[in-house]
Structure 1
Amino acid sequence: MLRFDDDARTLALGVHDLLEAGPPSGHLSMQAAWSARARMRAGQDAHSAWQDARASDDDSFQREVSLVHRVVVLGWEASISGRIDGLSREGDHTIVEELKSTALPGERLAGLGADDFPHWTRQLQLYLHFLERARPGAAPGTVLGRLVVVSLVDGLQRVLHVPPDPDMGRWLEAQLRHIIEEREQTLAWRAIRRAASVPFAHDEWRPGQQGLAAEVQEALAQGRHLLLTAPTGHGKTAAVLHAAISVAWATDRRVFFATARTTQQRMAEETLRAMAVRGLPLRAVSIRAREKICLNDVVACRPDACPYARDYYDKLRDGRLTERAWDAPGTGGQVGPDDVVAIAEPARICPFALSLDLARGADVIVGDYNYVFDPAMRLSVVSDDPDAWIVVVDEAHNLPERAMGYASPSLDLGQVEQAAAALDEDPRYRAIADLAQRIAAWLRQSAQAARDAGGELALPLDEGVDPRAVRQLARDVDGVALDYLLLKHERPLFPPGGDDPWLEVARAMLRLRSAVDRAGEETVAIWRAAHRRRGGRRPRRPPTGQLTMLGPATADAVGSEDVSLSLLCRDPSPVLGPLFLDLAASVQMSATLEPPEFYARMSGIAEDRLRVARFSSPFPPENRRVLLLPQVSTEYRRRARDREATAALVSAAVRAVPGNVAVFCSSFALRDDLLPLLDLGDRPVLVQERRMSEEDRAALLATLRRAEGHVLLGVLGGIFAEGVDLPGDALLA
């Protein structure tokens, strides 16, 4: 990690930081279901075995030798620390030995040289350079390198001799110059931000909006976690963004605007762009899901399957695409998804990867909850330095349920059996197929209690799951990950971009282990077991948390079982609390954060950092009339009986309002039942369709904002029921 002291103009970093300082080159790489700790453990095991063997063979061998090299570049003193795996003497020569582990089998290593491992070779040559500079009187050529590459597949070694690089000093200075110039650019940009006044996004404040912004700004400046309840009409997005950016710009921090829906992101994007137009110095990017902005025919981020992944980093660097994105005409530094695609498509690079690269240098990121709160998906720019971030959570009443989902993984026998069958088709995958069969056998065996209970059983976690079995299976999944990655590259079983059943199973096992390791009394284990009907149809799975008994199998049920394990997290605070503890500040805003004590507890927010603010509706009472009509019911069992009467009442209410009206039904089915019965005269109707595209959503909202007397027929809890801004006459009732 880079550690700057800007006042003293010093920089402390490690050798790996130095090697990774420049922009990457080459392709977007393949990924495997391989946990970071497993990769580290495999490498550590290989290192320990090799070091023990060298120490027993050579009395001069020293392991884990630390060193620090200091150099001044551009007026900054850089201290570079490193640790040599092994140091030994052979006659008049000092031998620096560096061991690395690889997924390649030994037979593949035999024909490779040091040039095939440029990153590792460069690291070793850095150590040679440091030692030569530390011994100015030593004869040239007396410090030599030896790169030992060990296969994690079969344990075979390849020893490569690495000479010093006479140009290493110039390379080192160039890398440090890049790091320092980038830092000085950041400091200059921060100075510009601090000197700027933060404009409001609109020409005028709404009544009460300025007071709301002041409340938020004060809480954030104090490092608090604010729970803000403010009904529709306050203009929360504009007010809160103004406050959050004011604090972030003054304290050299950054803002993450987290949403549950894409429609909410569009509001934030429009607000940021309006602020930029009014003079705000800004670098903001929106992150959409990979599949929503993929330019390829299939979502497969590998150079062999996607031309937009091929040579990604080279194209990014040579085209200066991140710089071009911030300076793109008409954006004001607010780079939305369409802007990302407009830059990425002609350059033939992945737009999703570009948005992540832009996020590294962004002042403001707009994105889904997942990129902040899901431990498995959290952006590295957040996890690496959470104290640098102020997080705004829009429609925050959705966050607890979403966070409980992060800690509620599941594993399904049918999915495991599908993976095992596919893997068993190729003898090369036999070891992985055997592991899939072991996972399947564990599921079948562990589900016996659910069979005895009639089909479904919920148990406390410590009674329902053997953590040792989960951890062992997850370790075995880790153990075959590199083998699978190589096999998949050389002899793929599945088409690029298609489903990969084994990867899904492997990731599920790793998430299951993470949840088991983290979970406590708040989590229960739910086992389900039922026979599949003839023909392979599987019974509909009850919703998570609904412990409806499936009942014993009937006489005509044959074939394999439907078995699944689901962990149900009932308290999200173990997931959310650690992050809120580390964040600089946050604001959770909604019209319905009541009671705030409940949401504070669900978020795991410490009492000494909690602040609560409530604002009443800005609309007069006569504009907030609520009519109760007990003569009709929309309950499912009474829906058909009251359908015509309900349609007549809705029609009368709509005709009584001269402008735009929104009618929200409890479901799409009810909306579809009422639609042909409505008598709306010549009023134009807008219908919320299932699975609307982003373009269609935006077009519908744009139509409403024209205030031409439209009637919106939508669904409660849907994309238009919350998180959209319809000011003025855009919606009257």
Structure 2
Amino acid sequence: MSEETALSEQTALSAKTALSAKKALRLSVGELVAFACRRGDLIGDRTPGPSAQEGIRAHQKLQKKRPRGSEAEFSLEVNLVCDGLPVSLSGRVDILHPKSDLHRPAQLDEIKTTYCAPDLLSQSVRDLHWAQLKIYGFCYLQQQQYLAVHDCDGSVAEDAVTLQMLWHNLKEKKTYSESTQYQRDELETFTLTALREYVQWHRLWQQHRTQVRQTSRTLAFPFADYRPGQRALAVAAYRCLRDGGELAVEAPTGIGKTVSTLFPAIKALAEAQVDQLVYLTAKNSGREVVRQTAQMFHQRGLRLSLLEIQARDKTCACNLGLCSRDADGICPRTRGFFDRLPQARRQLLGKPLLTAEAVAEVADKLQLCPFELSLQMLPWADLVVCDFNYVFDPLVRMQPLLDQSRKRALLVDEAHNLGERARAMYSAALERSSCRRAAADCKSTHPTLRRSIQSLVRALENWAEAQSQSHNSRTFAPGSSGDDPAAQHWLGDPSVPEQLPVAVSRAVHKVLAVVSALWEQSRRPPEVLGDWLKNLFRYITVEQLLGNQHRCLTKVQTRGDRWQEQQVQLLCLNAADFLQQSYRQFHAVIAFSATLRPAAFIYRQLGLQQHSPLLTLPSPFHPAQQGVFLCPYVDTRYRARDAAISALVEMVTRVYASRPGNYLVFFPSYRFLQRVAEEFSRRQPHIALVQQTPGASERARSEFLQHFSDGRHSLGFAIMGGVFGEGVDYRGEQLVGTIVVGVGLPQVNVEQELLRQAWSSDNETASGFDMAYRYPGLTRVLQTAGRVIRTESDRGVVVLADARFTEPFYRDLFPAHWQPQTCDNGEALSRQLAQFWQATTDQETENGPG
């Protein structure tokens, strides 16, 4: 007896018989097809294609036209055994036409929306569409056979079914059909081949999961003792992971947030409270800490697999010069990608550290795109470490991480950055100049695409002209942002929602339809348009999400002569609701940072539910380790900066001279930084000064940090809230002092004023100015100050240069372990610094070396 015949007899058994031996694998047809039926090139699978809304509308339209007696969204579910494993396979076919007579079998219709005729689709896309329909056909015949054997309702087992693919071309508004009649044995062979591949993989995955859970149960906390606050954090995190819901944690520097959240998370994995951990961090340093923590656990026997997702531009083999695109502009590593993918998956499964380097090694051997390979491994890693945007950004978020068929826990590190980052994710803008450049880039190679982009340019011009001539139009200068008010203005009233530029949206859709048609035909637009097209997709994606939290702004900027820049911006004022929608996809969410205050501001920024607990932990370090000095005699407000330069130069000189070592001075803007740096270098030429520069490369950043190593005496000027003010661990003598210039208020401009107005009308407990300016500024200050003390042996000073720091508003929000001292002049500052450093020296002498 053949294996197929034996299996056919097994599948005819009842669900009770088939599932009694062991727990069944529950699998959707979509999951099976995506895993086991993809073949050929990656490029054919990468088409942006029609939007979900367009697809739904097309489905509904065609389903309404079905003949009487047919059924839409017909449910299918069969229970069978494959290689000894019970499987429950389910799906929902778009249209079922039941058998109408003895000579015509039943028919299943599957609807697919495209932007081109089906004969122009790549073969890999067509094959994938048909694979889904073939498995639906097998499930239907199995379901009918079961009914015929067991229900005794007159049902007759069917041995054939007609499968019809309906490709609906949205551009032509025309439907193309293709149908074939299949026999049971052909569909059975096809389905069982795919199912067997999935089952074999499932067994390997379950073996790995068993090892993870076994080693997790015996894993002990990696240190002999908990630091103060660590146990409280670990317990609270475990309870959240066990029970589900949300938890916010303000854990000061030094507690060990990463290990204190990962350890209970791993224990939750061991007890099957969660199935996968997703750790979000906005900084490279954050990913490195997670990796080091995982390695520490691995050394203690843990078999957990960690996958790091790094940005495409940093992992793309073409960007790195490892391969070259062919004559069609296609990367050779995407050719036959899905044919070589199974071998790569097997090589990577269960590896403890799937870093970008580890994935790239396998990708190089098999000539696969390393970034796409890392995405394919997403469902098969126990711990995924990535940036915020891969979960929250509507344009790039990874659907495997939002699949609710598995219980996932979301750990959000440096959560104070999430609110501002999320607003940017849900904002978009179109600029006339970039559209004109895109049209020019298509001139010789893609005339149809060029014409559609030119239509978009005209639509932007017409919209701006109509806004300028509107009787409701008003001009808004950018305030104190430093721009020339005569060169830039906003049209309309940005404080209220305005009518959307419908013609612009229509033009964007036409451009994207042309681009999607190119992708569906395995062609591609010019590579130089990559970033511009991403921006176009973001605009149309954000437009579909518009609500009261958005404003549509029109901006005109004169750039000499008669040429004008025109921009339409969709500005998100608060992304809290969007964040909450993403949280709901996870079993548990833990957001933590050293700076989450005050609670009302944080909860509204992060979209956390009001009843979710907030755990505030004390600093593990002794207050005497850090001297905090308030200097109200320096006025750093915008209008007083000219007079403040001399006082700041004197202050920096006093602080640097108080004790040899490495110091950083953080400024609110590059312009202010440069002016103080010029005066400092003129008056103190013997002190070497290193400065942060705008748009510095990673190499330049690394060279900047090299100045701040043990044994050096470096003075650095940097930007508050920038790369050197957050997420960097300056341990020991790497940094002994920080001067914070100003209270960190965001720049005043139209967008920020809109935030203030929105908060004013939507918040009863705090003013709009506090929510839009003072609280975000305070977060920057506290993050910057937190760079100084990182370990139990660190000693250092924080100098806050601004009179506003002495106000009750700020002092009430200072961390509890701060013991600030007010210095009314430079002499007082020098005196207080000398006393602090002398006390530190006396303490070190008393305690002895180490």
Q: Shorter chain as normaliser: what TM range?
A: 0.7 to 0.9
Q: Does 1:258 align with 2:292?
A: no
Q: Distance in 2 between matches of 1:272 and 1:38?
A: 43
Structure 2 equivalent of residue 72 of structure 1: 81
Q: Is the 8 A contact 1:529 1:564 kept in 2?
A: yes
Structure 2 equivalent of residue 428 of structure 1: 448
Q: Is the 8 A contact 2:518 2:525 kept in 1?
A: no
Q: Is the 8 A contact 1:325 1:335 kept in 2?
A: yes
2:334 aligns to what SS in structure 1? coil
Matched ranges for 1:608-627 at <5 A = 608=611, 610-627=612-629
Q: Distance in 1 between matches of 2:728 and 2:463?
A: 47
Q: Distance in 2 between matches of 1:584 and 1:13?
A: 20
Q: Is the 8 A contact 1:63 1:86 kept in 2?
A: no
Q: Does 1:96 align with 2:107?
A: yes
Select which of 163, 177, 191 maps to 1:172: 191
Q: Distance in 1 between matches of 2:684 and 2:225?
A: 39
Select which of 567, 578, 600 maps to 2:603: 600
Structure 1 equivalent of residue 825 of structure 2: none
CA RMSD of aligned residues (A): 4.3
Select which of 243, 252, 257 maps to 2:264: 243
1:344 aligns to what SS in structure 2? helix
Structure 1 equivalent of residue 29 of structure 2: 15
Q: Which has the higher contact order (CA 8 A, sep 6+)?
A: 1
Matched ranges for 1:289-304 at <5 A = 289-297=311-319, 304=329
Q: Distance in 2 between matches of 1:709 and 1:296?
A: 41
1:445 positional shift? 2.5
Structure 2 equivalent of residue 227 of structure 1: 248
What amino acid is the match of 1:9?
Answer: K
Q: Which moved more, 1:196-205 or 1:169-178?
A: 196-205
1:627 aligns to what SS in structure 2? strand
Matched ranges for 1:205-604 at <5 A = 205-250=226-271, 251-297=273-319, 304-318=329-343, 320=344, 322-325=345-348, 333-385=352-404, 388-416=407-435, 428-429=448-449, 430=451, 433-434=454-455, 437-438=458-459, 440-446=461-467, 448-449=469-470, 452-454=473-475, 455-456=489-490, 459=493, 463-466=497-500, 470=502, 474=505, 477-478=508-509, 481-487=512-518, 495-499=526-530, 501=532, 504-514=535-545, 516=546, 519-520=547-548, 522-530=549-557, 532-535=558-561, 558-559=562-563, 561-604=564-607
Q: Distance in 1 between matches of 2:325 and 2:35?
A: 24
86 and 511 in structure 1: CA distance in 2 versus 1, 3 angstrom threshold? same
61 and 643 in structure 1: CA distance in 2 versus 1, 3 angstrom threshold? closer
- TM-score, normalisation: structure 1: 0.79
For residues 338-378 of structure 1, the C-alpha deviation after alignment (integer angstroms, 9 at most, x for no partner) is: 33334334443222212222222222122211112223322
Q: What percentage of residue pairs aligned between the two structures are identical?
A: 24
For residues 304-358 of structure 1, the C-alpha deviation after alignment (integer angstroms, 9 at most, x for no partner) is: 432332332333323x2x3434565xxxx12223333343344432222122222
Structure 2 equivalent of residue 551 of structure 1: none
Q: Which moved more, 1:691-700 or 1:204-213?
A: 691-700
Structure 1 equivalent of residue 41 of structure 2: 27
Structure 2 equivalent of residue 714 of structure 1: 718
1:285 positional shift? 1.5
2:307 aligns to what SS in structure 1? strand
1:308 aligns to what SS in structure 2? helix
206 and 725 in structure 1: CA distance in 2 versus 1, 3 angstrom threshold? farther
Q: Is the 8 A contact 1:33 1:503 kept in 2?
A: no
For residues 494-548 of structure 1, the C-alpha deviation after alignment (integer angstroms, 9 at most, x for no partner) is: 632445756643541332232x2xx22x433333345x3435xxxxxxxxxxxxx
311 and 175 in structure 1: CA distance in 2 versus 1, 3 angstrom threshold? closer
Q: Does 1:676 align with 2:681?
A: yes
127 and 406 in structure 1: CA distance in 2 versus 1, 3 angstrom threshold? closer
Matched ranges for 1:47-126 at <5 A = 48-49=64-65, 51=66, 66-73=75-82, 74-83=84-93, 84-87=95-98, 89=100, 92-94=103-105, 96-101=107-112, 103=114, 108=119, 117-126=126-135
Structure 1 equivalent of residue 767 of structure 2: none
Q: Is the 8 A contact 1:421 1:433 kept in 2?
A: no
1:242 positional shift? 2.4
- TM-score, normalisation: structure 2: 0.69
For residues 456-490 of structure 1, the C-alpha deviation after alignment (integer angstroms, 9 at most, x for no partner) is: 25657874124xx64x8657755664443334788
For residues 527-583 of structure 1, the C-alpha deviation after alignment (integer angstroms, 9 at most, x for no partner) is: 3345x3435xxxxxxxxxxxxxxxxxxxxxx34x43333333333322222233443
671 and 104 in structure 1: CA distance in 2 versus 1, 3 angstrom threshold? closer
Q: Distance in 2 between matches of 1:570 and 1:114?
A: 44
1:233 aligns to what SS in structure 2? coil
Q: Distance in 2 between matches of 1:121 and 1:669?
A: 60
Q: Distance in 2 between matches of 1:64 and 1:285?
A: 37
1:693 positional shift? 4.5
What amino acid is the match of 1:654?
Answer: Y
Matched ranges for 1:627-642 at <5 A = 627-630=629-632, 632=634
Q: Is the 8 A contact 2:29 2:89 kept in 1?
A: no
1:279 aligns to what SS in structure 2? coil
Q: Distance in 2 between matches of 1:91 and 1:432?
A: 55
481 and 8 in structure 1: CA distance in 2 versus 1, 3 angstrom threshold? farther
For residues 1-50 of structure 1, the C-alpha deviation after alignment (integer angstroms, 9 at most, x for no partner) is: xxx9999623444433332231633222243374222134335435555x
Q: Is the 8 A contact 2:55 2:113 kept in 1?
A: no
Q: Is the 8 A contact 2:277 2:409 kept in 1?
A: yes
Q: Which moved more, 1:306-315 or 1:293-302?
A: 293-302
483 and 87 in structure 1: CA distance in 2 versus 1, 3 angstrom threshold? farther
What amino acid is the match of 1:653?
Answer: V
Q: Distance in 2 between matches of 1:48 and 1:621?
A: 71
Structure 2 gaps, min length 5: 1-17, 150-155, 476-488, 738-850
Q: Which moved more, 1:188-197 or 1:474-483?
A: 474-483
211 and 88 in structure 1: CA distance in 2 versus 1, 3 angstrom threshold? closer
Q: Is the 8 A contact 1:423 1:433 kept in 2?
A: no
Q: Distance in 2 between matches of 1:125 and 1:97?
A: 10
What amino acid is the match of 2:652?
Answer: V
Select which of 27, 31, 42 maps to 2:58: 42
Select which of 211, 226, 230 maps to 1:192: 211
Q: Distance in 1 between matches of 2:524 and 2:231?
A: 59
